[in-house]
Structure 1
Amino acid sequence: MTKRSSPSPELNDRQLSVLYCVARAYVSKGKAVSSKHVLESSNLDFSSATIRNDMRKLEYLGYITQPHTSAGRVPSDKGLRFYFESVKNLSRELDAPSGDIAVRTTNVIGDIEKLLRTTTRFIAKAAKTLVIIEKPDVGKLTVRNIGITEVAEGYLNFTIVTELGVTMNVTVFSGPLQEGLSDLRTTVNDVVAGRTVGEIRHGIRNVKLEDERWYRKELQQIIYFLENVFDSEMDEENYRYGFEFLMSNPFLDWDDIVGIVQHVENPSSLDELLQDLCQKEPVSESRVFIGEEIGKAQLRNFAVMIAPYSRHEEVLGNVIIISPKVVLYEKVFSQLEFAANRLTEVFSSR
């Protein structure tokens, strides 16, 4: 469940409206909000003195703060959480962010790699921020076949094709082959075709060479190849696009950019970040983390939004949007869920 910050029971409806107006104005313009602006931009029929008193109470309760250089107020992370929870359901009712996305992704359903890459770029451009889409968890994918080609003397390239069309390439040192390349392809495919990558990995790790037939050099070489192919680091595990939008965003400084690069460009750091946010468990529903909720000082000016995509009930991967925390949450969150829902439709139909 997404971390929530429920409004204080001490807040009345008017004060909740004032808080919403302050947060909405701030994420729209990125400027501190005065009591005068709240009155001018809302239908609240109260005096400016009443609104100022409400804003003082909101500040006391930690929903808004006063920048040193301004007489206005800006929402804290707690205030932004209130705003997101207020608009979350509205964002789900918004239309798809772009008809182009729906039309163009339909044309690449046959090429899952292209679908993921294209969706990443379209959502990033629509949201004007960084988007990361994880490739499906390869351990859950069934191997359709493996192509084997000689790329140099003593080296073979193994191309693993799964039932979803996701491919993986691994180059392995072979040395002299114990059997011909054609026979090797046949033998390897007889062993792995129709099994999930996870099953194959488990089987390889638990092979016991007790039966004398396993001592044949040909089979020893097959086991060697399978160990190197399926226990190796696979290709890049995600697609990402949109760093340029973060670098040009006026609400982020150079320290912010350095921080996000350090956490995203290093695969292990990104995995650690996502595991920390999701409490080491797979995401089963959309989650949003704002500012200090992320738990990383370098990312205090960001929001991280995560939504899973699935094949039927089986979660395959996540769509992740990383944006400045000053953002129209209803717009970006709708784009996040749109992408996750479309990918779920595609994978569930295969």
Structure 2
Amino acid sequence: MSRRRTGGPELNPRQIRVLYCISREYISSGKPVSSKQVLEHSNLKFSSATVRNDMRKLEFLGYIYQPHTSSGRVLTDKGFRFYLDSVKTITEDLQESNVAIAIRRTSFVGDIEHLLQGMTRILARAVSGFVVIEKPKLDKLVVNSVSISRITKGYLNVSIVTDLGVSLNTTVFVGPAEFDIDNFQRYVNLAVVGKTIGEIRNGIKNVELRYDEWHDKRLQDIISFLQSIFDKENEEKYYRYGLEFIIANEHLDSSDVSGLVRSVENPKNLEMLLSSFGDVDENMVFIGDEVGRDELKNFALFVSPYSRKDEKIGNIFVISPKLTYYEKINAYLSFSINRLSEVFSNR
């Protein structure tokens, strides 16, 4: 399916106001909206005949449609897009809302893992949607230290701490041979500290050891050891939370829910879905057919990158029913992105 943004002839100011009132009423009630409701629930001073004519024009242009001949109008994907573009500003009262305060408090957590987990849950509850926060891209992280300890005979626990406080922990099998762990740890640190994980992965076969005191067999042991740690591509890349809010939504049916579950529960399926949106450098929203999957046609997907100074290091995704308060999600998402970027830029 195409993700091309829908456009159309320019609306006049009155039609824009009518469409905005239809959008607010439909998103609020989830039911078709009549011209009578538009006039009753707004401060528009037009006649009912004028509003009906404008609604026919809006339907002709593809912003709304009539699901049944005797019913009012509902928004199309193009109508949802209009509403989103109308409400992209952050409201002032967000800054002191309970959710904003909770996000601000979470940003003071020193442990990055807990910070990202906490923000995922807070944001999902705030927007009543499914939230995915991508971990900082490992290849961009600089190794600060490597700690090695023996678990049992032949097995070592390896803990890698990076410059952003993100840690990687893994178990490595080294066989029954005995050797000096302290010396081994010292040489491993000399090989990798100060390098990015991407640099280590790309040059793993040509690691330059600054202190070559061991014979070739021991050097090969270190290289093999580094390969076993840094050549892994199957680490969990995302924190996710909020399926219960999707399941409880009254405007989605069982096929909508099962379609989303299939797309996000399995890590490989989730990776395929999120990577299909490419390298995002700005806030973007995909509505209905723009998401590109028939099973997700009743959803909207919001994505926004967070950064360290000027370097993008991850994304936040929000998946919501397309019948939602777009201004609310945009506001909380922008607030979360700003807090994350602030935390990482100060490290």
Q: TM-score normalised to the size of structure 1? A: 0.91
Q: Using the alignment, how far apart are the partners of 1:70 and 1:112 within structure 2?
A: 55
CA-atom RMSD in angstroms: 2.2
Deviation, structure 1 residue 38: 0.5
* Cα distance per residue 1:61-118 (max 9 Å; x no partner): 11101123861110000000001001112x365523524324421441x211111111
Counterpart of 1:100, as a letter, is I
**Pair 1:326 & 2:323 matched:** yes
Q: Using the alignment, how far apart are the partners of 1:178 and 1:139 within structure 2?
A: 32
Counterpart of 1:24, as a letter, is R
Deviation, structure 1 residue 217: 1.5
Counterpart of 1:262, as a letter, is R
* Cα distance per residue 1:258-282 (max 9 Å; x no partner): 21122212223222222322xx32x
SS of match in other structure, 2:158: strand
Counterpart of 1:301, as a letter, is N
SS of match in other structure, 1:88: coil
Q: TM-score normalised to the size of structure 2? A: 0.92
Quote the residue 1:57 is aligned against.
57
Q: Using the alignment, how far apart are the partners of 2:215 and 2:314 within structure 1?
A: 40
* Cα distance per residue 1:303-335 (max 9 Å; x no partner): 100111100000010111111000000011101
Quote the residue 2:184 is aligned against.
184
* 1:170 and 1:234 in contact (8 A); partners too: no
**Pair 1:105 & 2:106 matched:** yes
Quote the residue 2:283 is aligned against.
286
Quote the residue 2:259 is aligned against.
259
Task: Give 5+ residue unaligned stretches, structure 1.
Answer: none
Q: How many residues align?
A: 340
SS of match in other structure, 1:95: helix
Q: Using the alignment, how far apart are the partners of 1:205 and 1:35 within structure 2?
A: 70
Quote the residue 1:95 is aligned against.
94
Q: Using the alignment, how far apart are the partners of 2:215 and 2:274 within structure 1?
A: 43
* 2:284 and 2:302 in contact (8 A); partners too: yes
Tell me which of 301, 308, 332 is aligned to 1:311: 308
Quote the residue 1:344 is aligned against.
341
Q: Using the alignment, how far apart are the partners of 2:190 and 2:206 within structure 1?
A: 19
Deviation, structure 1 residue 243: 0.8
Task: Give 5+ residue unaligned stretches, structure 2.
Answer: none
Quote the residue 2:152 is aligned against.
152
- Identity among equivalent pairs (%): 52
Counterpart of 2:316, as a letter, is V
SS of match in other structure, 1:346: helix
Counterpart of 1:95, as a letter, is L
SS of match in other structure, 1:144: strand
Deviation, structure 1 residue 205: 4.4
Quote the residue 2:124 is aligned against.
124
* 1:302 and 1:324 in contact (8 A); partners too: yes
Q: Using the alignment, how far apart are the partners of 2:184 and 2:69 within structure 1?
A: 72
